[in-house]
């Protein structure tokens, strides 16, 4: 049956209107994006700064013990195996706190979670300076772990709330840079404090900085929908791009079981763990390695610790940005950051060469390359987790599971390293073991993270 001429005329009349509407919508989106600015020019950059300083202080507080370790070990006559146990103690409660804090982020919000957790870790860091023996210092480290375990799940959740998918790599790199900038600054700072004020005051001073952060966080932080200092254009843009503030999931247990039922989640977890092991080997043992195996003074070792961490912090941000611009938003949702992730895991295996070189400059270069690559790999794995978790309200729980994987391996790093050094008198085998785990992490990423963590259809349940 031939088409009715009146219908054809109506369609022709509507066509320009539809095109005009599409152009208007496109122009509206462009205008909205322009009014929101970029991460660097929009006011959401202050949120990125909050996350950076949170992890900066977090890692400064946890690494203070490793910087002061030579002095503390001499003062109390503690051998390497006992120091390894002390280094790892805070990771035990850190491990236990990750999923509960992550679930709390999804349900009560990151404003409350960070206020409570940062207060706990700051006070416990200060109490470490009052320790009179192994038991009291061990107890303060356990308390430190409880507080610090909230930072990664909450930061991942805040990134999901505040940054569009095309900015998540950069936002994640910024907060993860705090984990390297913290040790970079604290290495010479704490060494100076230990030499001039004593090791006890070094814990009090660094711990007190966290309480200042808490006061500022409570005063200024809110979600995009509620932040009074956010422009209307940027607010509308962020709510449109991030999904706004959906209803909280009714069951934390259901979210946890859904995520743990997926091979992808286990692949992300294993990759995180294998990379985090090497990072924590450096975090806890690098100053001791430089003073004992390389015969450096405490002050010189502190600078050789600071430089690689500083390099990793700066380059890690640039690499995070690269992952945002090199991949389309749709490809990110399918986990395509994986390619860059694998490249940087492979690059981090230069840790195997640390034992083979003699010159101090070469040692510095190799450690800088290894830490930069590990920083980037961890950043990309965290960002990829946020990409693959399509349900906005599971982000905090997923981050808790992810970091749980990292800490499960990290728990072993100081103990295994301490045992190796105690039995062999050398660090060689410790670096070889870390390199082997990096290869394992690469395989986990390649073979296990091919599917998004979407629960909308049976096809996505692979």
Candidates 425, 282, 429; CA nearest to 363 is: 282
Question: pLDDT value at position 247?
Answer: 44
From the centroid of its chain, how far is CA 238?
A: 22
Contact 277, 410 (CB under 8 A): yes
Q: What is the pLDDT of residue 14?
A: 37
Q: What is the CA radius of gyration of the chain?
A: 24
Token pair 């991030």 is found at 242
Tell me the percentage of the chain whose pLDDT exceeds 70: 88
Quick check: 325 pLDDT over 90? no
Pick from 249, 271, 264, 58: which is nearest to 149 by CA?
Answer: 58
Q: Is 389 helix (H, G, I), strand (E, B) or coil?
A: strand
Distance (Å, whole) CA 101 – CA 113: 7
- Give dist(CA 54, CA 75) in Å, integer: 31
Residue 356 reports pLDDT greater than 60: yes
pLDDT of residue 308: 87
- Check whether 113 has a pLDDT greater than 90: yes
pLDDT category of residue 190 using cuts at 50, 70 and 90: confident
Rounded to whole angstroms, the Cα distance separating 49 from 142 reads: 28
**Rounded-to-integer distance, Cα 177 and Cα 189, Å:** 18
* pLDDT tens for each residue of 278-296: 888 887 778 778 888 888 8
pLDDT digits (tens, 9 = 90+) for 332-344: 888 888 999 999 9
Confidence of residue 12 (pLDDT cuts 50, 70, 90): very low
pTM over 0.85: no
Give residue 462's pLDDT.
Answer: 38
All domains in the chain, ordered by first residue: 42-220+251-451 (1.20.1250.20)
What is the residue-wise DSSP string for 102-155? HHHHHHT-HHHHHHHHHHHHHHHHHHHTT--SHHHHHHHHHHHHHHHTTHHHHH
Say what the pLDDT of residue 442 is: 93
pLDDT beyond 90 at 271: yes
The 10 Å Cβ neighbour count of residue 349 is 18
Please state which of the ranges 1-5, 90-94, 102-106, 141-145 shows the lowest mean pLDDT.
Answer: 1-5
| SS percent in the chain: helix, strand, coil, step 5 | 80, 0, 15
């Amino acid at each position: 049956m031939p088409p009715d001429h009146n219908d054809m005329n109506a369609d022709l009349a509507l066509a320009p209107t539809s095109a005009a509407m599409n152009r208007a919508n496109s122009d509206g989106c462009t205008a909205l994006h322009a009014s929101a600015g970029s991460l660097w020019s929009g006011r959401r950059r202050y949120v990125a700064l909050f996350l950076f300083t949170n992890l900066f202080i977090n890692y400064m507080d946890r690494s203070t013990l490793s910087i002061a370790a030579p002095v503390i070990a001499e003062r109390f006559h503690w051998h390497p195996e006992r120091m390894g146990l002390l280094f790892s103690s805070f990771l035990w409660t850190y491990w236990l706190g990750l999923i509960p804090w992550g679930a709390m982020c999804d349900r009560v919000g990151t404003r409350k979670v960070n206020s409570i957790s940062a207060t706990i870790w700051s006070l416990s860091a200060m109490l470490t300076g009052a320790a009179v023996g192994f038991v009291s210092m061990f107890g303060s480290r356990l308390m430190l772990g409880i507080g610090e375990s909230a930072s990664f799940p909450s930061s991942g959740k805040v990134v999901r709330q505040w940054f569009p998918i095309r900015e998540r790599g950069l936002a994640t790199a910024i907060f993860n840079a705090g984990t390297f900038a913290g040790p970079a600054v604290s290495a010479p700072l704490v060494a100076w404090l230990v030499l001039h004020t004593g090791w006890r005051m070094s814990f009090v001073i660094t711990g007190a900085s966290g309480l200042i952060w808490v006061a500022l966080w409570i005063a200024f932080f809110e979600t995009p929908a509620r932040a009074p200092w956010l422009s209307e254009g940027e607010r509308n843009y962020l709510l449109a791009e991030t999904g706004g503030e959906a209803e909280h999931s009714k069951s934390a247990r259901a979210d946890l079981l859904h995520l743990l039922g997926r091979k992808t989640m286990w692949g992300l977890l294993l990759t995180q763990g294998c990379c985090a092991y090497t990072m924590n080997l450096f975090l806890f043992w690098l100053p001791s390695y430089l003073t004992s195996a390389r015969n450096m003074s405490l002050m010189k070792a502190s600078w050789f610790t600071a430089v690689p961490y500083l390099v990793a912090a700066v380059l890690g941000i640039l690499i995070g940005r690269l992952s945002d611009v090199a991949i389309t938003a749709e490809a990110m949702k399918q986990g395509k950051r994986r390619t860059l992730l694998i490249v940087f895991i492979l690059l981090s295996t230069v840790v195997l060469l640390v034992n083979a070189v003699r010159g101090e400059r070469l040692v510095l270069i190799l450690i800088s390359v290894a830490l930069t690559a590990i920083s980037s790999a961890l950043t990309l794995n965290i960002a990829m987790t946020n990409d693959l978790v399509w349900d906005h309200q599971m982000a905090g729980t997923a981050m808790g599971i992810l970091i749980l994987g990292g800490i499960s391996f990290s728990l072993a790093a100081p103990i295994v390293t301490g045992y190796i050094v105690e039995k062999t008198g050398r660090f060689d085998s410790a670096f070889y073991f870390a390199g082997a785990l990096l290869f394992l992490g690469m395989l986990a990423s390649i073979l296990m993270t091919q599917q998004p963590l979407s629960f909308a259809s049976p096809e996505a349940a692979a």
